[in-house]
Copies of this chain bind each other. A is one copy, B any other.
Amino acid sequence: MLPFRRVAIIGMGLIGSSVARAVRTHMPTVALVAHDADAAVRDRVLELGLADDVTDNAGAAVVDADLVILAVPLGAFAAVGAEIADELAPGAVISDVGSAKQSVIDALLPLLPPGVQLVPAHPVAGTERSGPDAGFASLFDGRWCIITPVDGVNSPAVQRVSDFWTRLGSKVEVMDARHHDMVLAVTSHIPHLIAYSIVGTAADLEDVTRGEVIKYSAGGFRDFTRIAASDPTMWRDVFLTNRDAVLDVLGRVSEDIAALQRAIRWSDGEALHKRFTQSRDIRRAIVEAGQDTDEPDFGRGHG
């Protein structure tokens, strides 16, 4: 039995449009209604045929939907929540795809009418591209989707959202929202912040030109630029909403960089070698867990 019959997706960027495509592929009888705040995106969604109906405002999209998925930047949750609250059907489940979870609960829970159930979710999947053309149906295949129930308790609504993501190809994990935020600060938010920062540093140097940075980026720098090409608005909101966990981990990162800096200054080769040796095991485990390809250099063409 399908977990939901009518799904409304608010926000049709990379993730929202991928959810729409994946629903079409895996649950073709589900009715899909979409809304995006950007009129150009709405037009494109119609052209691409990604939904059965595209509404001009968020409230109209959620009428009669038994699942509403917010796929907007985290900073827009309170406003979108206010727009849709009065239109939500009794018994509807409201979920999302946000990269930070406690802030989603804080923003939405006070707005929801009784009988509507909030089940926050985070598919850990994506690319550096943005917009409705960047999405694809297999984005979630084999990827983790983390569900963070409001009170930590499993419920029928949690089970239905879990079924939904399993049907889209994901592996589902249930986790406390605050723990999720700490785990993702480490595995996603901090890497993005550092990548953004270093790409900016490199572009701003006086002694090395931007052309040189681009030309010789194959030495390692280009790996950082991929994730730093991600949507700036989405990421701004991630850092503002997951502030505490990000600042917590960032303190550790700065401390560890300072330790390596000191080892270099004092020519402590042993400390450097020890630190560098540990990293290989982590890489191996990530490849073994199927979380990355084992092709050297990401299988980039050589020649």
By a beta-carbon cutoff of 8 Å, the part of chain A in contact with chain B is: 75, 99, 124-129, 134, 136, 138-144, 146, 169, 173, 179, 182-184, 186-205, 207-208, 210, 212-230, 232-233, 235-237, 239-240, 243, 246-247, 249-250, 252-254, 256-258, 260-261, 264-265, 267, 269, 272-273, 275-280, 282-286, 289, 291-293, 296-303
Contact = CB atoms under 8 A, between A and B. Distances in A.
Contacts of A187: 202, 208, 212-213, 216-217, 219-221
A186 B236 CA distance: 25
Given A272-B239, A299-B298, A249 B188 contact: no
Contact of A291 (B217, B237, B293): B217
A28 to B, nearest CB: 18
A225 B283 contact: yes
B267 A243 contact: yes
Contact of A279 (B199, B253, B261): B199
A125 B69 CA distance: 44
Contact of A256 (B146, B197, B210, B247): B197
A247 B226 contact: no
A286 to B, nearest CB: 5
Contacts of A197: 253, 256-257, 260, 275
A279 to B, nearest CB: 4
A25 B230 CA distance: 40
Contact of A226 (B144, B249, B298): B298
A232 to B, nearest CB: 4
A72 to B, nearest CB: 15
Given A127-B296, A202-B186, A212-B183, A196 B279 contact: yes
